[in-house]
Structure 1
């Protein structure tokens, strides 16, 4: 008869402990062991050098003592003094060398081993590793500081790449789903292929095309390959052309669009690509029109400030909060996270592209804003006086 319960589960049985399995050391433990191994290797190298140095010093002192003893010829007291002095020097100099070697080992071997170990970790993909920055202002302290700065930049760039990939996937997914849904609805007979429905689907394809074009422009700018047709550009004419392009839209929205270049010296030029500069200013005006209510104003101004041409686009719209100001030039950033592509909202790449184009012109772009009052984008360029 089998027992009701397995004998292994009887209360009186003392459980037998199983031997612990061998666990592979984690990366941190391995990293510490690798660091110790490198330190030991450097220590033995220094020890070998120290031994060679002691041998050379002792042998040299012995030879010098013998030569001096022969030169004095026969004075026992002088001979003793020479030998004692020689032995003292033979002992003191190696001790001094040992102290110097020990200090050198601490100041050189430890930082080098730490940097080498951290470099191996970075090569394995661990961008969070940092090198201890030792006290002092020697070359190895600067090396550790530079290495840490490098890994921080690599970590930041890697995070930006991951964020960009996720943002691109999100931005592409929305219009693709709309196009796919509309076409499937037409095929299934849910929607009639009316001109309005086809036009709505076509708008999504235009959005995809614009997003791909913007991403291509950003990739060229990041690689320093953004083509520019540089020529003297008249600043007053540039602002007038942009205002003319958007005067109809501004009038339809009840927004006053003004150009102020009276304070700008006549015939002021900047060296740049007129098409790219028009693209930047058009993007800023579009954003201003999007966020400026009826009876508001958008002002395009140009003036000379400290030898540079300063172009400003100011609107009396809703403004940007202080918390959002540092991020307005980041890719796929939007102040209102609830906005979508509907209503004319873009993909969030316009200001990032504008910053890259201005940088390619050796210029700068900044933004200042007072919430619910005004926002000003300022572009600064080196001035070029036309001949």
Structure 2
């Protein structure tokens, strides 16, 4: 048999050949043992019997040989037939499963992420294999959908500043637009918008791939809160939105093992998001409290709120909802995705809640506490 022919031999044929070989070897072994050991033992026992004439011994040995030969032959044939039938049935079921798996894998490779492998109920191993494949196909479909949406939204985000830059530059080259301070300022603003978008994309991509640089060290919760509120205070004052902090002394002294700058970025993004959606005269409250070995950081606003159908999507990259993340508010649509990535990198969780449109929103970050008291 050639190498190509051996490679083309299927699993069913291999399994059948292996079972037949095992049965034949077991049968040959049993036959040899029975033919060597059985007659000798029987002969000794016959000689111990009374009377033990030569005719009786010969007749008994002949009967014994015929009996064990026929019995063993029938047993081996029945075992061989049963093994062949069972191996054929099992091989067909396994081959059918592998054929379905191959077909599904081919569909997934061609871009059809809806392909699934049904359970065949042949044991936990095969069911786990089918489940793992289906999970992989579903996750690949989600990744591909997210990639497609991200590219479309990224193109949309870049289109406006690029078109603005191109229009003004063309006007300046034609002498229609003057390169005065106002025009240069506007151009710099659009360039800054593109730079921030590129930085945000790089950050959330690195976090999603586990490449986010982290400098973990002990940091008090109060330090993170004070730094974020000090940085955002002037923006809130300029827009006429009241910014408040509610954090008891115990939680302020709680210690986290975290990157202070990254956690500050989490709160800054949440505060910026709340500020964009809270009208003048509204209120944004930052709160913190301890529960066992967890610290809960809360950013609550009295702004435009979030519809229930959008709550589970607000942390997705570029996700937009009229009440939650409208482009008119000036956000890049990626700030909350960065929040989720950084929080997850710290072993925490972040959730969003809202009673409804026009009734404000609450974002809650939960982080593990390393020490509940200030080590100093």
Q: What is the TM-score normalised by the length of structure 2?
A: 0.83
**Structure 1 residues 129 and 39, CA gap change in structure 2 (3 angstroms):** farther
Shift of 1:70: 6.3
In structure 2, the residue matched to 1:160 is: 146
Is 1:196 the counterpart of 2:205? The answer is: no
Is 1:291 the counterpart of 2:314? The answer is: no
Deviation by residue 1:174-222 (Cα, 9 ceiling, x = unmatched): 2101110111122223333332222122211110010011111112212
- Note the 1:132-281 alignment, pairs <5 A: 132-262=118-248, 264-265=250-251, 267-281=253-267
Contact 2:295 2:367 in 1 (8 A): yes
Partner-residue secondary structure (3-state), 1:336: coil
Question: 2 CA distance for matches of 1:125 and 1:321?
Answer: 33
Question: 1 CA distance for matches of 2:122 and 2:18?
Answer: 26
- Note the 1:35-54 alignment, pairs <5 A: 41-53=10-22
Contact 1:61 1:89 in 2 (8 A): no
Is 1:330 the counterpart of 2:328? The answer is: no
Question: 1 CA distance for matches of 2:123 and 2:23?
Answer: 31
In structure 2, the residue matched to 1:350 is: 335
Shift of 1:315: 0.5
Figure out how many residues of one structure are paired with residues of the other and give that number.
349
Is 1:80 the counterpart of 2:49? The answer is: no
Shift of 1:95: 2.3
| Unpaired runs of at least 5, structure 2 | 1-6, 44-57
Partner-residue secondary structure (3-state), 2:139: helix
Question: 1 CA distance for matches of 2:221 and 2:18?
Answer: 70
Question: 2 CA distance for matches of 1:225 and 1:336?
Answer: 32
Question: 1 CA distance for matches of 2:229 and 2:252?
Answer: 19
Contact 2:161 2:191 in 1 (8 A): yes
Question: 2 CA distance for matches of 1:224 and 1:57?
Answer: 55
Question: 1 CA distance for matches of 2:215 and 2:19?
Answer: 65
Comparing 179-188 with 80-89, greater Cα deviation is found at 80-89
Deviation by residue 1:107-160 (Cα, 9 ceiling, x = unmatched): 533323433454455455554432221125431111111111112212221222
- Note the 1:79-158 alignment, pairs <5 A: 79-123=65-109, 125-158=111-144
Is 1:365 the counterpart of 2:327? The answer is: no
Shift of 1:61: 5.3
Is 1:380 the counterpart of 2:349? The answer is: no
In structure 1, the residue matched to 2:289 is: 303
Question: 2 CA distance for matches of 1:72 and 1:304?
Answer: 85
Question: 2 CA distance for matches of 1:345 and 1:112?
Answer: 52
Deviation by residue 1:268-315 (Cα, 9 ceiling, x = unmatched): 222222222222211111111111123211111111023211110100
Comparing 152-161 with 141-150, greater Cα deviation is found at 152-161
Contact 1:296 1:317 in 2 (8 A): yes
Shift of 1:78: 2.8
Shift of 1:164: 1.6
Contact 2:304 2:324 in 1 (8 A): no
**Structure 1 residues 258 and 91, CA gap change in structure 2 (3 angstroms):** same
Deviation by residue 1:31-81 (Cα, 9 ceiling, x = unmatched): xxxxxxx99823332343344345445544554554435654522433332
| Unpaired runs of at least 5, structure 1 | 1-37
Partner-residue secondary structure (3-state), 1:320: coil
Comparing 365-374 with 120-129, greater Cα deviation is found at 120-129
Q: What is the TM-score normalised by the length of structure 1?
A: 0.81
